[in-house]
A and B are shown apart, each in its own frame.
Chain A
Amino acid sequence: MLKKAIRILGVVGALSLSTFLAAQEEGTPFPFTVYETYADFAPVMAQDNDTTYVINFWATWCKPCVEELPYFDSLHVNVAQKPVKVLLVSLDFRRDLTRKLVPFLAEHPLKPPVAVLLDGKYNDWIDKVSTEWDGAIPATVVYQGGKRIFHGEQFSSYSELTDLLAELKQ
């Protein structure tokens, strides 16, 4: 049974990888939104409605970031019926999108949507995400309307992440 499951998973993985790679070869878009500049991305951080947005900044090369991704996967599933949206913003480099990010996503399919922010003029935009942010990743912002919480380190558990959402509601 387990073997079969692994085999199916393997096939699915291989299929999705080949789909991604084929998509690349055909010049079709990446399986994620690409923001070239922070100006393009800024509206993502300023949506003013009843939804709570959970924005996580990560990269495939960042080990603590990759370690905490399962918490965002779980959150995305558990809040499916609620006005909560999770977005995983990769800060992978332009040259690594095809080479690293696409294969990573094929190998570790992530449930929340993924975006890439390529703007390398970090000093111009880090403060716009949060003045509390020093630039180290992982970093996460949870916001709803004008209420905003910044978390500048790795989550050590799933409940630490959900606590942040509860804190926002207080």
Chain B
Amino acid sequence: MKKVIGLWFALVAVALIGMSAVQTEPGLAVGDTAPDFTLRNIDGKMVSLADFPDAKGFIVTFTCNTCPYAVMYEDRLIELHQKMAAKGYPVIAIQPNDPEVQPGDSFEKMQERAKEKGFPFAYLLDEGQEIYPAYGASRTPHVFLLDKSRKVRYIGAIDDNPQDETGVTRRYVEEAVAAMEAGNEPELTFTKAIGCTIKTKKKG
């Protein structure tokens, strides 16, 4: 009997290892539950999603100071927060770049930029770079729209025209929030856009 139990455990172990090996693409897909985090905000305080018990959802946005695409979206991100936080969906900005590789994205530079632009939202540093891979963020800017229970409802760009706000025809994030508010699935749950790679120390 002992032998059988031992064999059973061995089989389960092999199965588990096999499953983890199959999951080569880390990160979240629409429908997954996003992990919470505790990261330092530019005001020095630690911020978690659990700190927003009244939120109906979160616009988690991986962004930075140094990527031209992220910079083009700064004003729109401020507007988005002002519009959506009132509805219960605050923007939570996370800066994923390693400041040692990209000095323009240091905590001090984040504080400076936030002050210059008057960011009304939390701007957190992904210190140790553990959160962006857990989400599967691969570029800046990169939005993960979560509902109250942290279920991912939309992944992608803020809208369909980074270069020219006046030429925007689809406001992906706003449309997805509106769909959630109406109790529907967003029409578009995933979009792609050009962006900057996330800066990290080269492996090996």
Contact = CB atoms under 8 A, between A and B. Distances in A.
A120 B197 contact: no
A121 B156 CA distance: 13
Contacts of A122: 157, 160, 162, 192-194
B129 interface: no
B192 A64 contact: no
Given A134-B138, A135-B139, A136-B139, A123 B157 contact: yes
B191 interface: yes
Given A134-B138, A136-B138, A156-B202, A123 B193 contact: yes
Contact of A123 (B138, B156, B163, B197): B156
B32 to A, nearest CB: 17
Interface in B131-187: 138-139, 156-157, 160-164, 167
A94 interface: yes
A152 to B, nearest CB: 8
A16 interface: no
Interface string A82-118: 0000000001011100000000000000000000000
Interface string A116-150: 00001111001100000111111000000000000
A136 B202 contact: no
B195 A136 contact: yes
A125 B16 CA distance: 38
A153 interface: yes
Nearest to B164: A120
Given A61-B68, A134-B138, A154-B197, A126 B162 contact: no
B196 interface: yes
Contacts of B156: 123
A93 B194 contact: no
Given A120-B161, A122-B157, A135-B139, A127 B194 contact: no
A136 B139 CA distance: 6
Contacts of A138: 197
B64 to A, nearest CB: 13
B137 to A, nearest CB: 10
Interface of A: 61-62, 64, 91, 93-95, 120-123, 126-127, 133-138, 153-154, 156
Interface of B: 68, 138-139, 156-157, 160-164, 167, 191-198, 202
Given A120-B164, A121-B161, A137-B194, 5 more contacts: A123-B192, A134-B139, A134-B192, A135-B195, A136-B195
